[in-house]
Each structure stands twice: as C-alpha cells, then as structure tokens.
Structure 1
Amino acid sequence: MGSIRFDKVDKVFGPKTGGMKVLEGIDLVIGEKEFVAIVGPSGCGKTTCLRMVAGFEAPSAGSVSVNGREITSPGPDRAVVFQQFALFPWKTVRENIDLGLRNKRLPRSERSDRIAGALKLMNLESHAEAFPHQLSGGMQQRVAIARAYVLDPEVLLMDEPFGALDAQTRVVMQEELVRLARRNPRTVLFITHAVEEAVYLADRVAIMTRRPGRIKEVLDVKPVRLAENWDRLARIEDVMDLESFVHLRTQIWRSLREEKGPHGV
C-alpha cells in the first residue's frame, strides 16, 4: 500500500532541446506508510516531484510509480494538500469534506460515516456547519487535510501545507500532523523550505541540489527519533532543544548552504 518510486526521472519544461531542465536523474523510493520530506534550494524542482506523483505533470524521461503502477494521470489512490487551503467559501466544513466523496459516488450513509470520522480525527466536530471565512487559517488547513484523509488515499502529497500560516499556528499544525501520522499513518511526500519542520515531521529527509535538481543525499531521521524517544516530548520546542535534533538540522543546513547559487536557497 502506497510505495512511491522515482526511477531515473528527468523533467524539462519547454522543448527537450533548449528547454529548461528542472530535474535530472531523480532516484528515490518511499516505502509504505513512510513519511519523507524533500528540502532544497528554490527552483530545484521539489514541487515538480510532487506534481508528478499526483499525476499533474509527466516526466520527460524515466518513470514515477505508486505500488509498481506507472503514473499517467491523477487517481483516487493519491490526495493532495496545497499551501493555499482551496476551500469552497460558499460550502460548510462538512460540505467541503464531502466533495471528494460525492465524486466517488459513495452511498449517503457511508459518506456520513466517513465525514464524521474525519471531523473527529481533525478535531473539527464543533465546526462542521461553519463556513471557511468563519475559521482561522489553521482551522481551514485542518479542513483541507480532513478532505484528503476522508478519501482514504494510499498516498498523501503535501506541498508546503503550512507555509501560509503564522509562526504559532504553524507549530500547532506541525504537532497535529505528528499526532495524525502516528494515529492514522499514510505514505506521505512532504515538500517544505523549513529544515526544522522536515526534521521534526519526517522519517527521512531528501536533500536536493540546485537546478537541475538531483537527490544529493537522504538522511534517516526515524532511528534517531526512536532512539532518543522524541515522542515523549509533547511540544515541538522541547524536541528542537535536543542535541540529536540540532545535529540533524545543522547537517541539513550545511548541505543546503553548499547548494546556494544564483537561485538562492
């Protein structure tokens, strides 16, 4: 369920000869129910990688597959959470969460049960009949995540989902996502510019070079998290004070700094 594979993937925008090469030779395997974050300089192709898994973009060379099936289009086995909440303002929280289920033509009773479960999962039960403009940014993003989870996808694709939030709300949502990932795991590909966020959330962190983006190295965070028992600490700031966390964060920053070029980091 939900393994992702990039096999020698190139991506060129425009003509193959003379176009802009964004990705080169991407090889990466994300295991079932593994949480992998990708970090890298601006313009290195992080979001392009995610869009290819989603089926919104096709590789120029190589292949991208889920569970051994090459991706040629979007599908119900993959759900995307964007930086912008993309909620319909004239629909309630419940109705926004229901949209994908309606497209799957599920019976009303099953939709109702799934929506109730998603509302409970994201602590939205008391806001089910609210409209997006009545919610904070963090609450709106909870709705967007609930809308993805309610579809029961094999793969969850998250493109800087907390980038539009203020600092305090972002921390709360990071803690919520950790809770959610432990309670209801999915295969997650997470794109972020924030190194601390990547280390805190992910099992592994893939570091990309500047354009054309390649996988420079992959750091395994999960063994460190388990050995140091990060989960015993309820607050993100306590985890970030740990020597093990600081070491990993510094290692990633040094790797990214080596990539700083005309496109920045």
Structure 2
Amino acid sequence: MGAIRFDDVGRFYGNKTGGFQALKGVNLEISDKEFMAVVGPSGCGKTTLLRFVAGFDRPSSGTVSVNGIRVTKPGPDRAVVFQQFALMPWKTVRENIDLGLRNIGIARAERQSRIAATLQLMNLTGHADAFPHQLSGGMQQRVSIARAWVLDPEVLLMDEPFGALDAQTRVVMQEELVRLARRNPRTVMFITHAVEEAVYLADRVAIMARQPGRIKEIIDIRPIREAEGWDAHEKIEDVMDLESFVHLRTRIWRSLREEKAMELA
C-alpha cells in the first residue's frame, strides 16, 4: 500500500509583514502502485509537493498523507531519488546500495540477498565493486535508483532524476525505468520539466499552474497506452511516433503554454 493524498495543501513563505503564497488549495490523490508525473512551469511548487511527501518539509495548511497516515517526517516507506546522484565517492556500487539498508537495521544476510537481486534487476552486477568516478553519469544515476529501490519502499519519489544526463543517456534511463515500473510497480511521484518524458513514463500526468501553485489539470495516460500497446515497443522513439502519443504531448504542451502566456501578459 502506498497511496498518496494531498488535501487542500498550501504553502506560505514569509511572516506577518509580508510574503507570498507558493501553493494554494492543492488536492491530488495518487493511487497505490500508480506512476504519477507532475509537470508545470518553474516555480509552481512541484518539488515542494514532493518534499512534503518525503517529510522534508511541511505545508502551511492542509494535510499530506500516505496510506491514510499524515506525513510529519521522513520514513523508510518513502525513498527519494534526486537529480544529483549523491553517491558516496569512497564507497563501491555495492556499498552505496547497502547504505540505506544499514540505516534501517536490516540483517547482513538479508542485505546481501537484496543487494544481489537489485544489482541484477538494474543490470549492475558487473559493476558492483566499481567506484562512482569509474562510472558514466547514466550508470551513477542507475546506482542512485538502485539505492532507493533496494529498500522496497511503498513510495518512490523522483525529483527530475534524469535532468543532469545528456539526451541519449536520458532516453536509455527512461526506457530502463519503464521496464522497472511495469515489471515491479511502485507508487511513484515523478517530477519533470520534460513533457515527452512524462507522457512516456506515467499512468497519469498532473499539470500545475503557478501564482499560486495548484493542480490545473490531470491527463489520464494509462488507458490510451494500454489500448495502443505502447509497452510492446522496445524503443521510446517508436512510441513517440504514434498518433496517440503525439496527441497527448500536444495537449499537455498547450496547457503549459497557456500558463507561460499568462505569466508574460
């Protein structure tokens, strides 16, 4: 179980003499094992919402809950993958993946079993004893995802995890994440600026508006993806050429363009 719920969530920054309303009236529910992508203009509060779920920050008003329990602090049921890899450079791939398991007190035998399974799942077995500086950027981010995945979290929070990668590596990582998400579903909240990435990966896409940040629209991707058989295609470019994909991408772009036009008006 990993359902996420935002109930009338707001965030105000400032004090009695002044400030601004960053988020207001955010209502959103992410179902158990659903992959939800969140897109929106810069400064709309996407990452702030993710931080609420992670327990790194708290809303000024409203509530954020996971499985009906109000989030007040970080917990092992939620794992976060950031844009920067944040790997320990003096530790090997295996040791980096082991960090979270040690922190939550998992016994050595179980840690070894989980690490071996995750290395295989992430196609990292041959790099288990390498250090981060010996890996490409894409490989380092794969280790970062593995470090979160090995915890078997109910909720996986991903804050623009591919934003620092070059275009080709980003595509490979998107294909890898689709493979993982379909084979071993988790509740995923995925923050991104890339519309194509959101459409390709997600079951639903939440579009945010700004000033103040709020949910403008939610686009249901999964029924179209399943009806059109997107997952039968091995390469992202084959999916991106489909009329159904192009239609969804254009719909989201138009919604985001409206927000930009209002900002510049």
Q: Does the CA contact (< 8 Å) of 1:210 and 1:260 recur in 2?
A: no
Structure 1 residue 232 displacement after superposition? 1.2
Structure 1 residue 246 displacement after superposition? 0.3
2:10 corresponds to which residue?
10
Structure 1 residue 14 displacement after superposition? 2.2
Aligned to 2:118, what secondary structure does the other structure show?
Answer: helix
Aligned to 2:234, what secondary structure does the other structure show?
Answer: coil
Structure 1 residue 261 displacement after superposition? 5.2
1:188 corresponds to which residue?
188
Whether 1:96 and 2:93 are equivalent positions in the alignment is no
Q: Deviations over 1:214-241 (max 9, x none)?
A: 1001000000000000011110001000
Aligned to 1:89, what secondary structure does the other structure show?
Answer: coil
1:70 corresponds to which residue?
70
1:135 corresponds to which residue?
135
Matches within 5 A, 1:158-169: 158-169=158-169
**Counterpart of 2:85 in structure 1: which amino acid?**
F
2:54 corresponds to which residue?
54
Q: 2: distance between equivalents of 1:52 and 1:106?
A: 26
TM-score by length of 2: 0.98
2:31 corresponds to which residue?
31
Moved over 4 A (4+): 261-264
Structure 1 residue 95 displacement after superposition? 0.4
Structure 2 unaligned spans of 5+: none
**Counterpart of 1:145 in structure 2: which amino acid?**
I
Aligned to 2:98, what secondary structure does the other structure show?
Answer: helix
Identical-pair percentage: 76
**Counterpart of 1:6 in structure 2: which amino acid?**
F
Q: Root-mean-square deviation (CA), in Å?
A: 1.1
Structure 1 residue 203 displacement after superposition? 0.2
Whether 1:111 and 2:111 are equivalent positions in the alignment is yes
2:214 corresponds to which residue?
214
When structure 1 is superposed on structure 2, of 166-175 and 19-28 the one drifting more is 19-28
Change (3 A) 1:16 1:170: farther
1:204 corresponds to which residue?
204
Structure 1 residue 18 displacement after superposition? 2.3
TM-score by length of 1: 0.98
Q: Deviations over 1:69-107 (max 9, x none)?
A: 000000000000000000000000000000001111111
Structure 1 residue 20 displacement after superposition? 2.1
Q: Does the CA contact (< 8 Å) of 1:78 and 1:155 recur in 2?
A: yes
Q: Deviations over 1:26-72 (max 9, x none)?
A: 00000000000000000000000000000011000000000000000
Q: Does the CA contact (< 8 Å) of 1:210 and 1:261 recur in 2?
A: no
Tell me the number of residue pairs that the alignment of Structure 1 and Structure 2 aligns.
264
Whether 1:226 and 2:233 are equivalent positions in the alignment is no
Q: 2: distance between equivalents of 1:16 and 1:246?
A: 47
Structure 1 unaligned spans of 5+: none
Q: Does the CA contact (< 8 Å) of 1:92 and 1:129 recur in 2?
A: yes
When structure 1 is superposed on structure 2, of 209-218 and 86-95 the one drifting more is 209-218
**Counterpart of 1:138 in structure 2: which amino acid?**
G
Q: Does the CA contact (< 8 Å) of 1:43 and 1:263 recur in 2?
A: no
Aligned to 1:106, what secondary structure does the other structure show?
Answer: coil
